Amino acid sequence: MPSNKQISGFLENKPGRLANVLSALARDKVNLNALTVMASHETGVLRFITDDLTKARIVLKNTGVPFSETDVVLLELRN
């Protein structure tokens, strides 16, 4: 089964934080293959898989977003 790295970015739960990160990724032409967002009262976690891990790391560092990486198994399901 194929695997990949998932990036988890930790954001303040404030208006515009998610949009800023996604806009920065788009400007640097980082494609997202999978995406999920989970939010609580004060924080949010943006988890995604990308085709360019190196560029994604640079974008997150430049935007000041703390992040971690996790190995995940990729599974494609029929619609």
Q: Say if 78 falls within a structural domain.
A: no
28 inside domain: yes
pLDDT of residue 3: 82
In a domain, 79, yes or no: no
Structural domain span for residue 54: 3-73
pLDDT at 7: 97
What's residue 76's pLDDT? 80
Q: Identify the CA nearest to 62 among candidates 36, 30, 32, 39.
A: 30
The residue among 3, 4, 7, 2 whose CA lies nearest residue 69 is 7
CATH code, domain carrying 55 = 3.30.2130.10
Per-residue pLDDT of the chain (79 residues; tens, 9 = 90+): 788 899 999 999 999 999 999 999 999 999 999 999 998 888 999 999 999 999 999 999 999 999 999 999 988 888 8
Number of domains making up the chain? 1
Single pTM value for the model: 0.87
